[in-house]
Every structure is written in C-alpha cells, then in structure tokens.
Amino acid sequence: MSDGGREPPPVPVSGRPGNGAPEDAGVLAAVVAAAEPSLREHALPQAPEDRFAGRFAPGSTRGFVVEAIHEGWLMHYAEPRAFAGMDDDLRLLGGDALFALGLERLAAEADLEAVGELADLISLTAQAVAKARFDWADALWEASVARLATSGAEGGAAAAFVSLTSENRQPDASDRFARDATPYP
C-alpha cells in the first residue's frame, strides 16, 4: 500500500462482473476502466479490439498488463487506440500512468520475469523510436509478447534487440581498430 494506505483497485478483466467494463468487452476496455479518472475522461465511448487478443489466457494478468503497457507506449510514441482529445503533456502523463498500472499489477503478483521483460521492452522500444526504427519497435513488441505469453520462454525484447542491431550495424572506424588490435601479452 504505497499510496497512503489505499488498497489498489481490483484487477479488471473482461468477462468478470464488477470491473467497470461490460462483460463482453475486451481487455483494453478493462484497462480503460482501471485507468485514473482524469485519464478515463478522455476514453473513447467504445474501446477498440484488443491488440494482443488470443495471445494470453482469458483473465490473465499478463494479458491485461501487456494491453495497458502497449496503450501507454502508444500515448508516448504514436496515437493511442482507446483515448483521444489530450494535449501532449497529458498524453505523456497518461502513458506513464498506464505503465505504472501494468507494472503494479505484475509486482503485486511478484511476477519478476514479466516485470523485467516489460522494463526491457519499454527501454528498448524507446531506443528504437529514437533511431526512427519503428519497424524494430514492432519486432520488439512481438518478441516480448511471445515470451510473456509462454512463461519461461526464451528470447524476448533484449534478444530481439541484439539481433536487430547486429543485423543492421554498419562498420565504422572503431571496428577497424578493434579488428586490428591484438591482445596485449
């Protein structure tokens, strides 16, 4: 209870009564319902289809978290799917709030594997965007979701990033020095 003794709201998951989203609504609708009230004011009347539908078991925390983190990421770097009418500052703060919402749910379950994977994903996709490599960001999302959907699976965002950067690396002057260098006896 890090926020002044308040209990966090229950995990809203589609298909469960009382989560603030219609019973047949998707996971993204449940994310919207769980968002802070100041962010919910900017929610679209109906949330679009889940981005990662079918990749996670129904009602899974990881499925909820991935949708929350993805929507937060979109607020930072693209166009959010479930929210509109925000200025740049509110979008940035809203994205941060959705990152926190997702990571808090994983931390509450002590799912350190998923926390680490999503921390890598957030950091590495930010690097991809800084390099204007949105194709890398898409590949990182796919690798991360594949790893998270199968607990304990190999790969993930970090492995994908290494692969992407090594495949797309252009030799420079420092490579010549590294190649010509010999170990000092």
In a domain, 47, yes or no: yes
In a domain, 139, yes or no: yes
Please report which confidence band the pLDDT of residue 24 belongs to, taking 50, 70 and 90 as the band edges.
low
Q: What is the pTM of this model?
A: 0.77
In a domain, 8, yes or no: no
Lowest-confidence region among 47-56, 96-105, 122-131, 169-178: 169-178
In a domain, 147, yes or no: yes
Tell me which amino acid residue 82 is: A
In a domain, 89, yes or no: yes
Phi, psi of 83 (to 5 degrees): -135, 155
In a domain, 21, yes or no: no
User: How many CB atoms are located within 10 Å of the residue 109 CB?
Assistant: 13
Give me the domain span that covers residue 46: 27-180
Predicted local distance difference test score (pLDDT) of residue 169: 61
The structural domain count of the chain equals: 1
Q: Is the pLDDT reported for residue 159 higher than 60?
A: yes
In a domain, 169, yes or no: yes
Q: Is the pLDDT reported for residue 166 higher than 80?
A: yes
In a domain, 172, yes or no: yes
pLDDT in tens, 81-140: 999 999 999 999 999 999 999 999 999 999 999 999 999 999 999 999 999 999 999 999
